Amino acid sequence: MTILIDPARWPAHGTVFSHLVSDASLEELHVFAQEAGISPRAFDRDHYDVPLHRYADLVARGAVAVSGAELVRRLVASGLRIPAARRPGKLDKVLRRRFDRLLPGHHDLNRGPVFQDLMDRWSEPHRHYHDPHHLLAVLNAIDLLERQGEDAGRWPRAQRLAAWFHDAVYLGDPDRPAGQDEEDSAVLAETVLDRMGLPTAEIEETARLVRLTVSHDPEDGDTAGRLFSDADLEVLGRAPAEYERYLTAVRQDYAHVPDERFATGRRAVVEQLLALDPIYRTGTARARWEDQARANLTAELA
């Protein structure tokens, strides 16, 4: 594991700034920054911005000086890089374009703009993993699986509608009955899409896919369910550094839950996922993510 720093070239506040990153672990990066006296406010999702006058001191403390291009290359390879499309502001624009293509007009005559209501839900302050980044990841995974020839079923648009609604209700309350958030999300989809005048069969398929995320265990012949379930679980098959980021965000979702109770609940989730054989039901997802997902979940359980 290495802490990297690039030349101070980025102008702001009357000086120029370097980027300080880790090529393996955000935890390592935060420890280094804290020991160096860098303010937590300088952290920007995958790096710290540090002014020119700190450069020599940080190198003396062990940060390895590299070019800007080398820093980016190694950050990308680590799996810790946050693409521009996933950053605040950019992300909203990306999702708005996706929604406009999915439901042109997207206006519920009884309630107002559907897009904004959904974004408000996905952006609730208690969400750290189940947030707009997860929504975009599921949409991108659906795109990938379809491009590889996986069958989206009779109602392909229902895949993406289900993505938008599947965590629309997410309270992060461990005292709620298991599956209640998913059920409430499915009912919300049924209510909103019915008011918008979508075909009944398409609405029913959207709600069915949302409810499927309780178990992520579609029937063998359910090609649409297999694709959507795999897209929602894509995060499990990421590189270890990205999986670490996912675990940190999930714990933040439940920051109000004591450690022991969280560990008990999380163990049950991990065991349920490992009991799926296979975890992924489409050929594309199995080839791309199955081995890494099992390795990640097994390491977490241990």
Query: For the chain, what are the domain ranges?
Result: 3-82, 86-301
What is the chain's mean pLDDT, rounded?
92
pTM over 0.85: no
Cα angle, residue 229 at apex, residues 228 and 231 outer, rounded to 5° = 65
Residue closest to 135 by CA, chosen among 85, 181, 176: 85
- Residue at 77: amino acid letter: A
Provide CATH code, domain 86-301.
1.10.3210.10
Q: What is the pLDDT of residues 94-142, one digit of tens each?
A: 899 999 999 987 766 555 689 999 999 999 999 989 999 999 999 999 9
* More confidently predicted of 214 and 45: 214
Give the torsion sign (CA, 104, 109, 112, 115).
negative
Residues 6+ apart with CB under 8 A from 285: 145, 150, 230, 233, 234, 237
3-state helix, strand, coil in the chain (%, to 5): 60, 10, 35
Q: How confident is the model at residue 158 (pLDDT cuts 50, 70, 90)?
A: very high
Q: How confident is the model at residue 85 (pLDDT cuts 50, 70, 90)?
A: low
How many angstroms from the chain centroid is the CA of residue 186?
20
